[in-house]
Amino acid sequence: MNPGIDKDRVEALYQTRFLKFYDLQYAPGKHYYQVSRRESPDLVVRLEDEAFRQMLPDAVTIAVVLHLPEREPLLLMSYEYRYPIGQFLLSPVAGLLDPADRQQPDPLRSAAVREIHEETGLTVRESDPVYLLNPCVFSSPGMTDECNAFLCAEITLDSTDSLSQDGAEGTELFDGFELLDRARAKQIFDTGRDEHGNFYSLSTWAVLAAFLGRF
């Protein structure tokens, strides 16, 4: 905790359903501005040390690895429209924790399984391993307290016929899947560009790194 932050002088300047804009006064007359998904009482800056170490992230990002007959493991990615960029970017499965997820014995697994089904049409079975890669990383802590957990889900399939993007909700827009073997994943990781020569997000870079490091 920055001792200069006055937790009683956190002011909400602008609020919408999904994003809020706050003024953090870190010294008399000195202001630091941040964007957050959280309501004011739940801001990370307000948490005491132990609560900070035990907090749940805002969202999950999942490395979805497919095991198909007689094929090497494949990393399942999609092209998702990212509004601030104005482009379809190569993206992993990801999404916010729902209130219902937070009530489950394993909130991160619950959110991951739900997001996989919504964004890919695949149903994760009990026999499919879903495990934690990182419990909480901050997206851009100089601007926001938004944070993600990273997980890996290994799904065994007979074929890819059940893949679907029909479960898109709200503002979500998708434009097809990419199934990356190790060679293609390494090329994208090494060049920093997707198959179309476009840049991608830090989350995509992290998922590619996890896939290349484990498979």
| CATH number for the domain that contains residue 146 | 3.90.79.10
Same domain as 67, residue 34 = no
Same domain as 88, residue 148 = yes
Same domain as 19, residue 64 = no
The whole-number pLDDT of residue 1 equals: 45
114 within domain boundaries? yes
64 and 116 Cβ atoms separated by less than 8 Å = yes
Task: Note down the domain range covering 192.
Answer: 59-214
Same domain as 69, residue 140 = yes
Residue 125 backbone phi and psi in degrees, to 5 = -90, 165
Q: Tokens in use for 136?
A: 């909480």
Sign of CA dihedral 100, 101, 103, 104: positive
Nearest to 176 by CA among 62, 81, 79: 79
**Neighbour-count burial for 39-55, b at 16+ CB within 10 Å, e otherwise:** eeeebbbbbeeeeeeee
Distance of CA 139 to the CA centre of its chain: 9
Same domain as 64, residue 46 = no
Q: Tokens in use for 195?
A: 């198959």
The whole-number pLDDT of residue 3 equals: 58
Same domain as 41, residue 90 = no
Same domain as 199, residue 159 = yes
How many residues are recorded in the chain?
Answer: 215
**pLDDT > 70 in the chain, percent:** 98
76 and 179 Cβ atoms separated by less than 8 Å = yes
195 within domain boundaries? yes
2 within domain boundaries? no
166 within domain boundaries? yes
Low-confidence residues in the chain, pLDDT < 70: 1-4
185 within domain boundaries? yes
64 within domain boundaries? yes
11 within domain boundaries? yes
The whole-number pLDDT of residue 169 equals: 82
CA atoms within 13 A on the CB side of 143: 3
Same domain as 171, residue 108 = yes
Residues β-bridged to residue 152 = 63, 131
32-45 residue pLDDT tens: 999 999 999 999 99
Same domain as 199, residue 145 = yes
The whole-number pLDDT of residue 27 equals: 81
Same domain as 186, residue 97 = yes
Q: Tokens in use for 17?
A: 């359903």
Same domain as 198, residue 122 = yes
Same domain as 182, residue 130 = yes
Q: Which residues contact 20 (CB under 8 A, 6 or more apart)?
A: 12, 14, 35, 36, 37, 38, 39, 40
20 and 12 Cβ atoms separated by less than 8 Å = yes
200 within domain boundaries? yes
Total domains in the fold of the chain: 2
